[in-house]
Amino acid sequence: MENWKQTIITTRRGNFEVFQKGEGPPLCVTHHYSVFNETGDYYAEAFTTSHAVFLVNLREAGQSDKAAEPFQLSMLETIFDLEAIREELGFEKWGFAGHSTGGMLGIIYGIYYSSRLSCLILTGAAAREYATFSKECIYNPEHPKFERMQNLIEQLKRQGIPVGKRKQLSEERTKFSLFRPEKYNEYFHRKISKSMSADRMNFFNRELPIYDVTRKLVLIAAPTLILCGRYDVQCPLTYSIEMKERIPHARLVVFEESNHYPFLEEAELFDEELKKFLSAIRSTAS
């Protein structure tokens, strides 16, 4: 599989490591606390046949600049950074696709900069804190696998874990979020690897308890596609339904045999729905 091309983008807000792959209209993909490299990302890979994808390492991730102040790791400041990258690349508009906390960033992006987005694709995301009132969420203390998930996350934050051990922990964590965990090796068969920015995740965990932008969803004007697995244990389906009801003209697709990774668990259907959405956007624009 072809590697992603790495570059450092110098912007008015600092330097950011960006990986590029694919051809077509520009699409930004990122995640709130993942650290990407030349091997890419499973979610971003799903868009490389239709777009020139820009996979962004945010502050404190990879070779991107560090945060001079803690607030620079917030969701809103992150969107300001993405806008600076878009401007430096010279795009009047680009699309944005985000999975999980990447989708949460996409929601903020759509609220404040819809005029700069050609499309918005939100997968397994939520417009508000999703654990406190959701017993079906694995981050809710009443979920039977809550304690083990927390333990895995804390271990994965540590530096210096042997590669084999990290892979084992990551695999166990991911299996909790699959409809058919026994198919893990079938889904994750490519040589794609990424890590986690502990600083970004720790700041996210502080910001999450007060995260609620549901009343502002009406401000999103970019064409929006919402995708969610029926059995998502991280951001339960309830939150995608809520977004569909509040974002003007948004389209929601529910994947009946998926948990948190519909782009792998039902890859063909995911690709089909993506093509439908993009075709509809082109038809409207012409």
Whether 244 maps to a domain, the answer reads yes
**Tokens coding 203:** 């700041």
Whether 158 maps to a domain, the answer reads no
Question: How does strand 14-21 pair with strand 52-56?
Answer: antiparallel
Whether 105 maps to a domain, the answer reads yes
Q: Which amino acid is at 259?
A: N
Whether 17 maps to a domain, the answer reads yes
Q: What is the number of structural domains in the chain?
A: 1
Domain span holding position 51: 5-130+190-285
Whether 162 maps to a domain, the answer reads no
Q: CB of 120 within 8 A of CB of 134?
A: no
Query: In whole angstroms, what is the distance from residue 105 CA to residue 102 CA?
Result: 5
Position 267 scores a pLDDT of 98
Whether 138 maps to a domain, the answer reads no
The CATH number of whichever domain residue 258 belongs to comes to: 3.40.50.1820
Query: In whole angstroms, what is the distance from residue 204 CA to residue 184 CA?
Result: 27
**Tokens coding 235:** 């951001």
Over the Cα atoms of the chain, what is R_g? 18
**Tokens coding 32:** 């709130």
Whether 116 maps to a domain, the answer reads yes
Query: In whole angstroms, what is the distance from residue 226 CA to residue 59 CA?
Result: 26
Position 13 scores a pLDDT of 98
Q: What is the pLDDT along the chain (286 residues), one digit of tens a residue?
A: 689 999 999 999 999 999 999 999 999 999 999 999 999 999 999 999 999 999 999 999 999 999 999 999 999 999 999 999 999 999 999 999 999 999 999 999 999 999 999 999 999 999 999 999 999 999 999 999 999 999 998 998 887 888 889 889 989 999 999 999 999 999 999 999 898 899 999 999 999 999 999 999 999 999 999 999 999 999 999 999 999 999 999 999 999 999 999 999 999 999 999 999 999 998 877 6
Which residue in 115, 84, 89 sits closest to 25, CA to CA? 89
Query: In whole angstroms, what is the distance from residue 229 CA to residue 234 CA?
Result: 10
Burial class (CB in 10 A: 0-12, 13-18, 19+), 189: exposed
Whether 139 maps to a domain, the answer reads no
